[in-house]
Structure 1
Amino acid sequence: MLNMIAAGRPGLYLFHRGEEQGCLGSRWIQRHTPDLLKDIDAAIAFDRAGSGDVITHQSYGRTCSDAFAISLASALNGLNPGFRYRPDDTGVYTDTNEYAGLIPECTNLSVGYQGQHGPRETLDVDHCEKLLAAMLRLDASLLVIERDPSKQEDDRWGWHDHYYGHRDDFADAIAEYPLLAAQMLEECGLTLDDFRMAIWAEEMGGDADYRPLMAS
């Protein structure tokens, strides 16, 4: 983003505080200064692992349309034959999630890192630099703005708002999407050892005093 600013790429650039603590900065903007986002059609967070995801859904539900994700992926792939960007609906939670009720298209873009939130996190700098070059050349007129931010969709799940908070339905959803549930727990700071200890406590009849440490 700093290189995009230095190169004069037009746009509104936001550097948020407290993303790992619950998107504190973006949530504050969303609640207290929403006019800052007036007339913004699309928000792109450069904060996704891997090298090919254009996120369509986060914890809010759908945060960008398939049409926008396809148009962004196609534009990037056209600028670099080595890219393999495509829409992905397994996003969890990043700053653009907070803007989904204000901005039509809110996505999260893979930037080449792996092993996030741990001591072995790595960044593919070559991919990151190629993505920078593509973003500097991206023709924004090719991006399709289609989603209505006033309408919240949970089409990834196929359930309705009244199901939220019901433990049986939550368990069913986790059983149907175990890998997504595991990813969400990991990104919240829960480790496999924490989970195993929780299983042990449950098998002890719930009498064991065990509370996992949630950290970011």
Structure 2
Amino acid sequence: MDTDEFLKLLGQPFGLGAGAVVAVYVVQWVLRRLGAGGDAYAAKKGQNLATKEDLADAVKQLKEFEETRAAVAHEDWVAREWKAVRARHLEAFEGGLQESYDYAQDLMQAAIFTAKEGLARNDGGVAIRLRTLQKLYYPELAETLTKFQGIAERLRILGAQYEFLRRQEPPPLDRIEKVLSTIEIGDADLRVALEECSSALAEVAKIVFNVTRGDARQR
């Protein structure tokens, strides 16, 4: 009810009394205010609800981001540590290869020149150390190391066999000649196997230190 309608109502002789009219007007005004206030309240409540849902979603996304970042950081740390530990044992592995090669050479020399003290000497556990390092830090070297150690072991056996044949009376010269020929071939094979192991280890070193072929040429 607007003002004009309100004034007309008051002027009617048989209409409502002034007090009743005022009461009706007040009730309508209150209802309109309540309706407007209810709409505003509902809108405000909806806005608050949306804000809470958005906040919960943002918190969830932040948590997922932090978890992902932590996982990536952990993977990076593991990768760095893996490279570091491999780098620390490169020299020991290369030294073990050379020590194994020298040991095989010593055995052959001792067998050929009948140096009993050389035949009695063991390898000081270098073969086991090499295999342990390979299994722990250099899985890609399994094949080349197995080949190298297999040849070294065959040479050790051939050296002992040669020394045994020389002690026989009369010495079986044909068998001795055959063993010596096999030792000569085995010695050449051992050198090749050593070079293959060293080359494979050098490739590992490039990976560990992130060296490319271009970087290697520049160095």
**TM-score, L = length of structure 2:** 0.22
Q: Which has the larger radius of gyration?
A: 2
Name whichever structure is richer in strand by fraction: 1
**TM-score, L = length of structure 1:** 0.22
